[in-house]
Every structure is written in structure tokens, then in C-alpha cells.
Structure 1
Amino acid sequence: MDVDEVVEELYRLPPAQFTATRATRAAEARQAGDAPAARRIAGLRKPTLAAWVSNLLARRTEEAGQLLQLAQALREAHRTLDPDQFRTLSHQRHVVVAGLAREAGRLARQAGQPVSGSVLHEVEQILHAALADPEIADQWATGTLTKAPAVPTDFPGTAPVAQVKQKPGGPAAPARGGKTRDTAADRRRARLKDAMKAATEAAAEVNRRDEAVRRAEKEHERATARRSAAYERVEQLTARLGEAQEEQRAAAEETDAAARRVKEATRERKAAQRTADTTSRAVRRLSEGDPGH
């Protein structure tokens, strides 16, 4: 049995289905004689609802890449940028996390498991933790997170590295190997510039996707309302058609009954006419033979 495939299957399932499916797969591994696989499967931990929702997002390559790319830019910014620039990028972090959390909620609804605002808030905390800690980011990216990790209080260090101020009374002494350090700093600044550009583009893309999701949800709501109205109209017309068909059947039965009555009355009239004709002829014969006339 391929345990990795089982892991992938289990952590894609809604949490309510996790335990029963895990037991089934572990039993299948034991029946196949693969005790190590059975033990590994049985030891898999059921994810919390928020962890499962965040795992849905982690399996989306583009969204996961955006978050991890932003995390790299933020960690680089923490080491090199001035406070104003770092605050700008930190604001971007909150925008991206909020957008990704909404996308995670949409994925959960698609999977048949709508979640509450409190669960989405917990998802945001997971994403913030992934942004702050590379180890948490790596774990989240596997799509097998089982619970929300503790959110680090800050990125490594407490603030962006400040520039060393020149002491009064003379220029600062050049550092040893200054040219090499300048070159390294230039490369680092170039990488940071690229990372910031990528993070900005990622945030913009998240905002565009978020707006697209809102538009799609509104269109879905309108379409659902139209469909409900159409179903109701069909039900009304169907009911009216049934009533009309019932009236048609009743009218047909009355018509048939009336036709039978007309036929019977016509027959009786003919019989009465024959009787009247017979009696009239008798009266005439008697009258013609009567001497008093």
C-alpha cells in the first residue's frame, strides 16, 4: 500500500470522515500484511476544521506560492529595510492573508463544508504563523497540518536592522573587506527588490481574485434566485395544468352523460310519437264510423 497516497486522501477529506476512513485504510494495510504501513496510517492525526481548511489552500499551487513568496520577502525585509518600508510590507501581509482566508472559505464551501467566521479567523492565524516561521510554512505547504500552530510574536529579531549612525568627529572607519560586503549588500538589495515586487504583484493578484470571487458569488446568488423563481413558477403552472386537466376530464364525463341523456330522451320521444300517432288514427277511424257525426 502506498502510504503517501493514503495520507493525501485522508487530509483531503472533511474532518468528519477522517477517523472512519483512517481505520479502514489501516485495516486494509494489515490485511495486506504491511504492518509498518498500518501503524503509520493509524498514527495519523485528525486535523482540526481550521487546519483542514488551510490545507485546502496549501494544495492550491498558485495561492501557496504567493504566501511563501511573501514570507520570504517579509523575512528579507525584516533584516534590511527601514521601519517605514517594513510597515508598508506588513500591511500588505494582512491584505494577502485576509484574501487567502476568504479563498480558503470558498474552497471549503465547494467541498461541502461551509465554515464560520471564527474558523476563518483561525485560518488567518495559521497563515500569519506560516509567514513568520519558515518551519511552519514548510509544514503548512505539505497540506497535512493537523492543528493551528502558535503564532510567533514577530519575525526573527524584534525590528528591522537599523543603520549604524556615524560618530561625530570624523568619518566612520571602513570595515574590513568593505568592497566584498558592499557587493554582497548590493546583491541582497537586488534580491529584496525582486522579492518586494513579487510580493506586491501577489497581493494585487489576491485582491483581483478576491473581487472575482465576490462577483462570482453574487452571480451565483442571482442565478440561484432566478432558478428558485423558475421552479416555483413551474410548480404553479403544473398545479394549474393538473386542475385544468381534472376539469377537462369532468367536463368530458358530463358531456358523455348528457349525450346519453339526449339519446335516451330522443328514443323516448320517438316512442311517445308512435303512441300518439296510433291513438290519433284510432280516433279518426272511430269518428268516421260514428253515425252521430
Structure 2
Amino acid sequence: MDVDVDEVASELYGLLPAEFTAARNAAVARARTAGDADAARRIADLRKPTLAAWASTLLVRHRPEETEGLLQLGRALREAHRNLDGPRLKELGHQQHAVLAALARQARDLAAEAGQPVSETVVREIEEIVRAVVADEAVAEQWSSGVLEKAPQARVGFTGLEPGPAAVPSPPERGGTARPEQPQDRRKKTVRERESERRESAREEERRKEAELAAARRETERRDKELRRAEESRRTADRRLSQAEDRLADLERRRREAEQARDRARDDAATAECRAAEAGRAAQAAREKLERLGS
């Protein structure tokens, strides 16, 4: 029988983090019993969520309207960025700050209601997670599934979005025949010069932003490499932890069996002692009877 790994993952990541490992190991055992080795392997690869990741997905499970509002805000911001819509970005940016802080507080309250209070440090991590949901469509999709292992990599701006062709302004067309410069021409020239300076300033600002973006990408690549190394170390540690937990469970089982065997041996020893005492009394009575008959 095939095991629905997605359904199992959804159930596991809805539990308290402290309950995750035992429930995951039980799910692995059920999958193996069902004969689905691939599902058992995939379930075993699931990792306990961080407190912030778990708390953030409580919003998905218990606040569907707020969740959809956040996803819509992310789509609107990414679209405004794609179109270089400055006024819209400014408007939505103000809205974003209020929404992220409010959602982080809601997640904190939901965690407390579930019996797992979180610190202000974790609340700030939750806010960073929902910020990544707004900035990155892939993160938004993963988070909205309710299955999130850890906070996504820190984002700089909006990920994977380049301004569309419609967002690039076309240079104004120039035309007309030459004639002697008039006072109004000088005024127009001054206006054109200011406009040219404005466009040059805008291009310079764009080049500066591109340089910052390139630097941020290099920094992200470096951090990603460090993250991959850290993740590999964590996976190794998790495997060792799982193996140690399995060994501990086996030792606990053996201890219980040994205690049961000890208790049975004590009962047998007590029974044998009673029988020996009875046999001793019977032998003594027989000897006394023999002595009386012999005399």
C-alpha cells in the first residue's frame, strides 16, 4: 500500500516541535510495515522544524484569511517591482511593514495557545520568514503548504524579478529644423538640460542599484555555500541523533524485558523457598516419627 508522504508531512509539521521526532519515527515504521520503502526513506529525511518556522505555519493552519492577504500583498509588491511602479511600491511598502509585524504577533499568540511560548527573538525570526514570503514566490508557495523546516535564506529585495519591457522608459523623440535661438528656445533648452540631468541621475541611480544587487548576489552565493556546508553537517548530526535514539529505544526495550525476567525469577525463587521449607518440615516430621517407632 502506497503511503501519502505529503499528507504525513503535513501532519508532522502541524505537531509541536518536541513531538516531531517520535511521530516521524513512528510514521517511518508504519511505512516500512506497509512495504513502501521509498515513502519510509522520504519521511525519514524530514527534519524537525525550527521554532520560528513551526510558529509561522500556524498562520497558514489557523489564520487562512490573513494568510491569503499576505500572499496577495506579495504578488502585488512583486508586480509593482516588475513594472518599476514607484508610487505603488511606496504605498504597498508602508502596508507591508504593518502587516508583517501584526502577523508575527499573531503567530506568537497561536504558539502560546498551542502550549509552546516563544521569545521575542523567535518573533523577529517569524517576521523575517513572512518578509521572505512577500519577496520570493517560491518561498510563498512552500510556506503556504504548511510544511517549513527552517527560515529561508535572507533575501535582498525581490528575488527572480527583472523589470518588464513596458517598465523601461523610451527616450523622447527629437526633431525639427534649425533656426536662430530665441529666448523661449533658451528656456526650452534649460528645461531639456534639466530633464537630461534628471534622466542621467536616474541612470546613475539604476547603475548604483545594479552594482548593489550584484554585490548582494555574490554575498548570497557565498552565504549559500556556507549554508550548504552547515546543512550537510546538520543532516549528519540528525542522522547520528536518529541512530542514537533508535539505540536508546532498543536499550529501553531490553531493560524492560530484563526487569520482567528478574521479577519472574524472584517469584520463582520465592515459590521454591516455600516448597523447600515445607519439604524440610516434612522431613523433620518423618525423622521424629522414625525415632519414636525405633524406641
Report the TM-score when normalising by structure 1.
Answer: 0.53
Indicate yes or no: 2:144 matched with 1:141: yes
Residue 57 of structure 2: aligned partner? 55
Indicate yes or no: 2:175 matched with 1:166: no
The CA distance in 2 between the partners of 1:12 and 1:85, in whole Å, is: 36
RMSD after superposition: 2.2
Q: How does 1:95-244 map to 2 (within 5 A)?
A: 95-155=98-158, 156-157=161-162, 161=167, 163-169=169-175
Tell me which amino acid in the other structure corresponds to 2:80.
A
The CA distance in 1 between the partners of 2:171 and 2:92, in whole Å, is: 24
The CA distance in 1 between the partners of 2:71 and 2:162, in whole Å, is: 19
- 1:158 and 1:97, CA in 2 relative to 1: closer, same or farther beyond 3 A? farther
The CA distance in 1 between the partners of 2:168 and 2:119, in whole Å, is: 42
Indicate yes or no: 2:90 matched with 1:84: no
Greater relative contact order structure (CA < 8 Å, 6+ sep): 1
Indicate yes or no: 2:73 matched with 1:74: no
The CA distance in 2 between the partners of 1:116 and 1:158, in whole Å, is: 39
1:168 offset after TM fit, Å?
A: 4.9
1:158 offset after TM fit, Å?
A: 8.2
Residue 18 of structure 1: aligned partner? 20
Q: Could you tell me the percent identity over the aligned residues?
A: 55
- 1:80 and 1:2, CA in 2 relative to 1: closer, same or farther beyond 3 A? closer
Helix, strand or coil at the partner of 2:150: coil
1:58 offset after TM fit, Å?
A: 2.1
The CA distance in 2 between the partners of 1:14 and 1:20, in whole Å, is: 11
Structure 2, unaligned stretches of length 5 or more?
Answer: 177-295
Helix, strand or coil at the partner of 1:149: coil
Q: How many pairs align?
A: 170
CA contact (8 A) 2:71 2:140 kept: yes
The CA distance in 1 between the partners of 2:85 and 2:37, in whole Å, is: 56
1:101 offset after TM fit, Å?
A: 1.0
Q: Which has the larger radius of gyration?
A: 1
CA contact (8 A) 1:78 1:161 kept: no
Report the TM-score when normalising by structure 2.
Answer: 0.53
